[in-house]
Structure 1
Amino acid sequence: MSAEDIANVLIYLTDKKIISVPGATGPTAVKKVEPGWHFCQFYRDFDQLLRMVAPYVTEGLKNGEGCLWVMPKAVTRKAACVALTP
């Protein structure tokens, strides 16, 4: 997907009031989620990926939920385990 395609998707989602974009450097908040939706998250590096995903997986494990975390090859198992520890 090109940068222009991504920009067009963001503009569409903002126009439909599905997301709000408070600032260029701020996070995007999802306002309305419907059944069947899928999400993706963009990240700059693997440290940012770990900081985003680890709390979500940790909470699921605390709640006794089954969790499957598929990681890029560049992220080691050790780094993922360290990210899961409080």
Structure 2
Amino acid sequence: MRQIKVVAKKHICKFCKSEMNVSGRAYLANPFCNKCYEDRLESSGAIDLRDNYRLEILNDSYSKIEPIDKNKKFVKTKK
């Protein structure tokens, strides 16, 4: 069996400018770190779906999730 070596390089998160150690391919797929996920949701004005969604079952095993209140924006939770 052949050994595969994954080389992790230091990249900079495009949002919070923190350093992250991921491979080049992983950075191309997602140039953001996991630490700033809630900050990115808050700054983009995303709709908060926590306890604010309606699930509609469609045909052919599909479903649709809609917000109940579209004006409820995501706010980062305090830790």
TM-score in terms of structure 2 length:
0.25
Q: Which has the larger radius of gyration?
A: 2
Please state which structure has a larger fraction of its residues in helix.
1
Select the structure that is richer in strand.
2
Structure showing greater relative contact order (alpha-carbon pairs closer than 8 Å, 6 or more residues apart): 2
TM-score by length of 1: 0.24
